Amino acid sequence: MNMQARSIKLAVTAAFAALFFALTAPAQATTIERVVSPGGIEAWLVREPAVPVIAMDFSFRGGSNQDPVTKSGLAYMVSSMLDEGAGDLDANAFNRLMQENALELRFNASRDHFSGSVRVLRDRQAQSFDLVRLALTAPRLEAEALERVRAQVLSSLRRETTSPGDIATRLWWKTAFPNHPYGRPNNGSLESVPLLTPDDLRSYVKRVFARDNLKVAVVGDIDAATLGPLLDRVFGALPAKSNLSPVPQAPPQAAGRRIVVDLDVPQAVLSLGGTGISRKDPDFIPAFIVNHILGGGSFSSRLYNEVREKRGLAYGVYSYLLPLDHSALFMSSTQTRADRAGEALDLIEAEIRRMAAEGPTEDELAKAKAYLKGSYALAFDTSTKIAGALLAIQTAELGIDYIDKRNGLIDAVTIADTKRVAKRLAAGGLLVTVVGRPKGITSKDNGG
């Protein structure tokens, strides 16, 4: 690292510390501005002049759920190709200008959203945001670059065919969502990825990248008057309307089923999941607390205590809520010694049943509330985290005042709320996929 780069890094670190204290002060000190560009593009802005960096996160609704049936991995491939040349710049020229301007530009395709993350130096923003604009509005997506990236993706997919974790996860989603986009792997398959063409990539960009399904969050040394025209400069040339394929609502299927895949590895991987609770459901916050107590609270959770601390069956075990745009899931996962896999699965399922029957205790509820409220500030200790949090709040449509009211929503949860919601989470049953040679676990059909 040269002296100039080291100086920039130290300055940014100090500025992040100042920003952390500003944003973790009382809620009134956290100012989120709604900025609307002259062209009508909206962004949420947290301004911090002390930080010589501008962080911009953005997303388009429609991620891998827009992949054609026979071409899973298309959105993932697009996310890997947008920095492989744009406009008049080939891949080498584009990446050279990124390095010269210290631009960080990343893209990601999840099941429901295609997102981008930009980090630019304050004094290099003009050149840097021009590169972002080109990547979104004029990507080259050429055959030569596609073949190079395709080879990398296929190599990764081949490794996944012998990874018990990847096998268990893919099988769970395929079984839970048959004939639905969620059932197809985000990064594609060995059969689908070879089918992808440059025209497929261009079609995806044209259908998904549009102003009507765009959300933007910006943090750093930029004011609203400057940000407005910048939004039009970066995103203004995108189509006004997207052309998304409809995606049906889909509760997970095959509850009660267990599927064991034989693989000669020393440990077994267990993936469990069933119906969760939507982010817009009034019971989501109570469910969030219940899950924290059950398996989301790391070292303090019931699953961690029973499976790891008391019996040493696994290094880690956890549960989480996964609210998607077209489904809502409650998930759990662990890996353990093959000869004790049955014991681990029995314990996980027993703890879920116990939570449903009894709910949390008053003490567990009080401790969970204290932790979840107190730790929330850690989501805002860097500009990267702040931009990500603002974007997540936007895409979930929680409202620009969510940060101010979030802890109040947690405080309002009663023990009766948690007991009711615990029953909801367990009511639908779980689909279980296991990969390895697990002792005490055999495949069974629903209810079998």
| Chain segment 191-244, per-residue pLDDT in tens | 999 999 999 999 999 999 999 999 999 999 999 999 999 999 999 999 999 999
In this structure, the answer to whether residues 311 and 229 fall within a common structural domain is no
Report yes or no on whether pTM surpasses 0.85: yes
The per-residue pLDDT for 4 is 37
The per-residue pLDDT for 298 is 73
In this structure, the answer to whether residues 67 and 196 fall within a common structural domain is yes
- The full DSSP string for 253-298 is --TT-EEEEE---SEEEEEEEEE---TTSTTHHHHHHHHIIIIISG
In this structure, the answer to whether residues 231 and 264 fall within a common structural domain is no
Rg (CA), the chain: 23
In a domain, 338, yes or no: yes
In a domain, 445, yes or no: no
In this structure, the answer to whether residues 63 and 199 fall within a common structural domain is yes
Two structure tokens written together for 361: 């205790």
In this structure, the answer to whether residues 43 and 143 fall within a common structural domain is yes
- Look at residues 176, 202, 235 and tell me which one is the last residue of a structural domain: 235
- Report how far residue 121's alpha carbon sits from residue 52's, in angstroms, rounded to the nearest whole number: 6
Low-confidence ranges of the chain (pLDDT < 50): 1-29
CB atoms within 10 A of CB 161: 11
Two structure tokens written together for 175: 């079984």
In a domain, 23, yes or no: no
In a domain, 9, yes or no: no
Return the sign of the alpha-carbon dihedral for residues 262, 263, 265, 268: negative
In this structure, the answer to whether residues 290 and 425 fall within a common structural domain is yes
Return the sign of the alpha-carbon dihedral for residues 258, 259, 264, 265: negative
Collect all residues with Cβ–Cβ distance below 8 Å to 72 and sequence separation of at least 6.
Answer: 64, 184, 185, 186, 188, 189, 192
Cβ atoms 187, 108 nearer than 8 A = no
How long is the chain?
448
In this structure, the answer to whether residues 198 and 268 fall within a common structural domain is no
In this structure, the answer to whether residues 44 and 191 fall within a common structural domain is yes
- Report how far residue 144's alpha carbon sits from residue 122's, in angstroms, rounded to the nearest whole number: 34
In this structure, the answer to whether residues 103 and 209 fall within a common structural domain is yes
Cβ atoms 342, 439 nearer than 8 A = yes
What pairs with residue 36 in β-bridges?
Answer: 42
Kindly compute the dihedral angle of the four CA atoms of residues 95, 100, 104, 109, in this order, to the nearest 10 degrees: -10
| Parent domain of 399 | 258-436
Cβ atoms 242, 213 nearer than 8 A = yes
In this structure, the answer to whether residues 135 and 273 fall within a common structural domain is no
Domain count, the chain: 2
In a domain, 174, yes or no: yes
**CATH code for the domain in which residue 219 is found:** 3.30.830.10
* Neighbour order of strands in the sheet with 53-61: 33-36, 42-47, 214-220, 53-61, 113-121, 104-109
In this structure, the answer to whether residues 127 and 267 fall within a common structural domain is no
In this structure, the answer to whether residues 274 and 383 fall within a common structural domain is yes
Return the sign of the alpha-carbon dihedral for residues 93, 95, 101, 105: positive
DSSP state of 305: I
DSSP state of 86: B
The per-residue pLDDT for 93 is 97
